[in-house]
Amino acid sequence: MHFKSVQDSYVLSNGVKIPCIGFGTWRLDNSLETVSVLKDAIDCGYRHIDTASGYGNEEAVGKAVIESGISRKDFFITTKLHNPDHGYDNTIEAFNRSLENLQMDYVDLYLIHWPNPLCFRGSWKKKNAETWKAFEEFYGQGKIRALGISNFMPHHIEALMESVKVHPTVNQIFLCPGVIQEHTVSYSRKYNMLTVAYSPLGSGKSLNHPFLQDLCSKYDKTPAQICMRWSLQMGYLPIPKSSNYVRMKENIDVFNFSLQEEDVTRLCYLKDFSEEAKNPDTVDF
């Protein structure tokens, strides 16, 4: 992909275009301060905003989009089904609630946030199938432009595929240098799903990693820019989050250089950079 700006797009398997970098909103609340942060992101050029019912900030996202003065059709809005809302009837109620919170009559992408939540651990396959049926109905009504999943491992994908009529177009998972989840990415691509990378900058003090610092000198770029460029060259769609205007702009100033292949490969297997991806079958969530 030869992207030239944050608004250039991947094309999903159903033909829907999705901007190649999104703006993440995890840990942002529903306050006016969040609205201001989101409007800053929009001012920087972000048009793809990733939220979730479980984040508790859908109202702020909707308000920022409206107050931006930019047409709704120029945005790509992703939200996700919260863990307690799995199942056919629950999903219908939850999705309509998300539309109300966002003050929108459709979303561009709707995801099952977690494949095996604690509250449905004994019945996750059945609940996901019921949930997907509701997803497909909203898709048929034009209220969702693309369907997707998040944190699904291969066995979760395989179970879901037993009953789907409309295939998922996206699997959003934890990906950053040193955490590449090769089997899950490969399995998602087997079904023509785009891999969306959350936490693309790693975690904690990861941006101070010595090898990353070496690459900053080599390419005259910041650690975050190296990570973002790596993600794009891996064929991922990264969704960084920042509340700082300068860093927001920095995170999307990644279209005027390329990493050499040997550096991309070494970043794949970087040690001591980030925590591991959580196992959705065992995590208390």
36-92 per-position pLDDT tens digit: 999 999 999 999 999 999 999 999 999 999 999 999 999 999 999 999 999 999 999
Instruction: Give CA–CA dist 95/108, Å, rounded.
Output: 13
Count of other CB atoms within 10 angstroms of residue 162: 9
Catalytic (active site) residue 88: no
Q: What is the pLDDT of residue 197?
A: 98
The sign of the dihedral angle between the CA atoms of 220, 226, 230, 236 is negative
- pTM beyond 0.75: yes
Report yes or no: 241 and 27 within 8 Å, Cβ to Cβ.
Answer: yes
* Domains of the chain as residue ranges with CATH: 9-206+234-247 (3.20.20.100)
pLDDT band at 213 (very low <50, low <70, confident <90, very high): very high
- R_g of the chain computed on alpha carbons: 18
Catalytic residue among 10, 46, 55, 139: 55
Instruction: Give CA–CA dist 212/273, Å, rounded.
Output: 9
Q: Which of 156, 219, 204 is nearest to 183 (CA)?
A: 156
164-185: string of b/e by CB count within 10 Å (b at 16+)? beeebbbbbbbbbbbbbbeebb
Q: What is the pLDDT of residues 92-106, one digit of tens each?
A: 999 999 999 999 999
Q: What is the DSSP string of 13-64?
A: TTS-EEESS-EE-TT--SSHHHHHHHHHHHHHT--EEE--GGGT-HHHHHHH
